Amino acid sequence: MMNTKTKLAIWGMLLLFSFSFAGTKKGENGHNEEKPYATKTLKSHRARHALSSAQYQTEVNNFVRAGYKLTYVDGYYVNGKTRFAGLWEKGNPSEQILRHNLTSKQFQQEFSKNHNNGYRLVHIDGYSNGKKALYAAIWEKQSTRGLRARHGLTGTQYAAEFRKNKSDGYRLVHISGYGVKGRTYYAAIWKKGNPNGYIARHGLSSKQYQETVTKYWKQGYRVTQVDSYDVRKKTYYACIMEKKSGRFTARHLMNAKDYQLEFDNHYYQGYVPISVSGHDAGKSAGYTAAFKNVTTWKSSDTNQLDSKIKKVMKDFKVPGVSIGIVKDGKLVYAKGYGYGNKEDKTIASATSLMRLASVSKPITAVAIMKLVEQKKLNLSDKVFSNKLLGTNYGKKSLSNREKAITVQQLLEHTAGGNTWDNNLKPEGIDTWGAPMFQKKNLSQDKLIGWVLDDRNPSHTPGTRYHYSNYGYCLLGRIIEKKTGKNYESYVRNSILKPCGISQMVIGANEKKKRKYKEVIYYSNGNPYALQMQRMDSHGGWIGSAIDLMRFMVRVDKQSSKKDILKSSTITTMTTGSSANGGYAKGWSVNGNNWAHGGSMSGTGTYMKKMSNGVSYVFLTNFSKNYEEGDPTHRSELKKAMEEGIGAIKFWPDLDLF
């Protein structure tokens, strides 16, 4: 097994298809006895890239022990080092022979030996170590009849071999291109069979490859294998396209981050990788891949949802959107659309991290309710009593209204009236402005003190609903007081971790300090002037659509996933207040529909649990100022999601969590 240092090194430089899936036993019909076949098929795949030779061998050994067989390997030479990408799937590795770093002579010897022992060559990849050609290959225990394999072919030799094999009734099933000392070579495998009905191309530029795929895709051909390779600092492509039913996609011109995001995005739409290739793209590696959908999703169902979302994005010029959909506690679909970074064309993925804005509030509410459930706190506790925050903030004595405020009133936005709220209405009376966006030079503690000294609640606590970020800032401090831990640390370990969430954190203010998968934010304001750490408990979290759905299914009172709160606690949390029956404790409520939205510079978000067993979330990296009463991209995305979900005719039985 890899030691900790090796694991961290690999995580820092390569894609990890790191869903923690255990293999399960197949029944007599070949289907998973515990989960639908499509889910099992999805979760039976693994992928790695940017591996050194030693790391690749370690991964091969680990996967063999875990019962995975190698289906694809690609070597490539970048910045003076040979790297490997590989694909594995659950199977019988004992019937495979795997080799890499073979010279031409060694490969030929290995081929002859394995062929004589009844092992058929099913995959060959040529690559350079900067000095000479090397080969990685896969042999499987099966008939060796009707096989032709060649390596070290020049372009002219490959073309001649292709024509000869076609005339002899052999079909190309695998091709690998590679450059050695400025010259192009090919390795390929043919098998006896219909030599027609597929398209094979090699030596294509990026533009030519795209044109080829576009042309033949319209005629029903799908990319089943693609290889990218570099010669004299130029990238070329070789591919095989076949007429196939089902759903396939292909991507190229990806850097390592793009590939990881594309990989994630495809998984959550039900795709597995069938081909991956790396090449030298200058300062770093470039990647090319092909994918196949293995779920029972109908194209008509997902396409109509996609088109509705894309229309809103086009109408409002939204750069990127990420969505997640849960049905009966199971994640059935998630996808990113557009760009997380417009400038360098980094996609928005289902796993892209985005600022959640006020969708942070349900998270804080759940943390408070957990403390109530543990009897560390009561909803009726006075916020500024010695039991909680005391008189540690501000310089002036507390007013009677401030002394009367309870934890429940903070949760329900009924504590501070219009002096603590986020708007300037009623006009002419409320001139205070949102407290959390004032005095940006003040620390969190000093800001709290400034508000207490300067803004006495305008109404008796509990009598009026006024939405307040500041109230949720105080809830964060209560969590710290009662746990003795930093707000972020407590929530991550005690609330998010039990939900299976590890990537959510409080966001950074500066663009250059954003997380690896975090998007860029776009606004007519300045998204990077926000004080994210100061906003922690009311609007500071970043996370993915997947994370938010993991959270939702653990507080939804459904039986498919065990909730982290008791049913009675959730009922209390989602019961509207006497001042506003449509808002409970961290959630907008309408019967069994619970929701929360969020909006701030560069961010628009929304999460909802519907009474029909479906929950959804969308996150965007965009905001703009709208005229009052005009539709917004958030309102239109909500409509698109609910209309699109309502139009789905067939729900596949799978769980992508």
Contacts of 555 (CB under 8 A, 6+ apart): 362, 366, 563, 564, 565, 570, 573
pLDDT of 28 > 80? The answer is no
pLDDT of 10 > 70? The answer is no
- Tens of pLDDT, residue by residue over 249-263, are 999 999 999 999 999
Contact 63, 114 (CB under 8 A): no
**For the chain, where do the domains classified as CATH 3.40.710.10 start and end?**
354-646
- Tens of pLDDT, residue by residue over 371-422, are 999 999 999 999 999 999 999 899 999 999 999 999 999 999 999 988 998 8
- Model confidence at 628, pLDDT cuts 50, 70, 90, reads confident
pLDDT score recorded for residue 8: 29
Contacts of 132 (CB under 8 A, 6+ apart): 103, 180
Q: How far apart are CA 635 and CA 647, in angstroms?
A: 18
- Tens of pLDDT, residue by residue over 180-201, are 999 999 999 999 999 999 999 9
pLDDT of 35 > 60? The answer is no
Contacts of 211 (CB under 8 A, 6+ apart): none
- Model confidence at 629, pLDDT cuts 50, 70, 90, reads confident
- Model confidence at 291, pLDDT cuts 50, 70, 90, reads very high
pLDDT of 13 > 80? The answer is no
Neighbours of 106 (CB within 10 A): 13
pLDDT score recorded for residue 253: 95
Mean pLDDT of 510-538: 96
Mean pLDDT of 625-645: 95
Neighbours of 461 (CB within 10 A): 23
Higher pLDDT, 594 or 8: 594
Instruction: State percent of the chain over pLDDT 70.
Output: 93
Q: How far apart are CA 251 and CA 287, in angstroms?
A: 8
Q: Which amino acid is at 214?
A: T
pLDDT of 425 > 90? The answer is no
- Model confidence at 426, pLDDT cuts 50, 70, 90, reads low
- Reference 262, options 352, 353, 355; nearest CA is 352
- Reference 98, options 143, 149, 62, 146; nearest CA is 62
Terminal-residue alpha carbon distance, the chain: 26
pLDDT score recorded for residue 23: 29
Lowest mean pLDDT among 14-23, 244-253, 507-516: 14-23
- Model confidence at 424, pLDDT cuts 50, 70, 90, reads low
| Residue position matching structure tokens 């191309």 | 201
- Model confidence at 52, pLDDT cuts 50, 70, 90, reads very high
Q: How far apart are CA 528 and CA 18, in angstroms?
A: 31
The DSSP string of 369-436 is HHHHHTTS--TTSBTTSTTTTTT-S-SSPPPHHHHH-BHHHHHTT-SSGGGTSSS--STTT-----GG
- Model confidence at 14, pLDDT cuts 50, 70, 90, reads very low
Mean pLDDT of 271-291: 96
Per-residue HEC secondary structure of 516-543 comes to CCECCCECCCCHHHCCCCCCHHHHCEEE
- Model confidence at 632, pLDDT cuts 50, 70, 90, reads very high
Give CA 244 to chain center in angstroms.
28
Q: Is 345 left (phi over 0), alpha (psi -120 to 50) or beta?
A: left
pLDDT score recorded for residue 22: 26
Mean pLDDT of 280-302: 96
DSSP 460: -
- Topology, domain 354-646: Beta-lactamase (3.40.710)
Q: Which amino acid is at 288?
A: T
Instruction: State percent of the chain over pLDDT 90.
Output: 89
pLDDT of 427 > 80? The answer is no
Lowest mean pLDDT among 5-19, 125-139, 617-631: 5-19
Instruction: Phi first, then psi: give them for residue 619, nearest 5 degrees.
Output: -125, 140
Q: Is 130 left (phi over 0), alpha (psi -120 to 50) or beta?
A: left
Mean pLDDT of 442-449: 95
What is the rounded average pLDDT for all residues in the chain? Answer: 92
pLDDT score recorded for residue 40: 66
How many residues are listed for the chain in this entry?
657
Contact 336, 519 (CB under 8 A): no
- Tens of pLDDT, residue by residue over 84-131, are 999 999 999 999 999 999 999 999 999 999 999 999 999 999 999 999
Q: Which amino acid is at 425?
A: K
Mean pLDDT of 196-208: 96
pLDDT score recorded for residue 430: 63
Task: For residue 77, give both structure tokens.
Answer: 């030479």
Contacts of 22 (CB under 8 A, 6+ apart): none
Q: Where are the beta strands (DSSP E) in 351-489?
A: 354-355
Mean pLDDT of 326-333: 97
Mean pLDDT of 598-608: 97
Q: Which amino acid is at 256?
A: A
The DSSP string of 102-138 is E-HHHHHHHHHHHHHTTEEEEEEEEEE-SSSEEEEEE
Mean pLDDT of 548-564: 96
- Model confidence at 154, pLDDT cuts 50, 70, 90, reads very high
The Cα-based distances of 333 to 37, 270, 461, 617, 633 in angstroms read 16, 8, 43, 11, 21
- Tens of pLDDT, residue by residue over 304-325, are 999 999 999 999 999 999 999 9
Contact 352, 530 (CB under 8 A): no
pLDDT of 19 > 90? The answer is no
Q: How far apart are CA 298 and CA 545, in angstroms?
A: 22
Lowest mean pLDDT among 42-46, 486-490, 613-617: 42-46
pLDDT of 16 > 50? The answer is no
- Reference 594, options 615, 611, 609, 616; nearest CA is 609
- Model confidence at 551, pLDDT cuts 50, 70, 90, reads very high
The Cα-based distances of 534 to 321, 471, 504, 619 in angstroms read 26, 13, 17, 21
For 10, half-sphere exposure in the C-beta direction (CA atoms, 13 angstrom radius) is 24
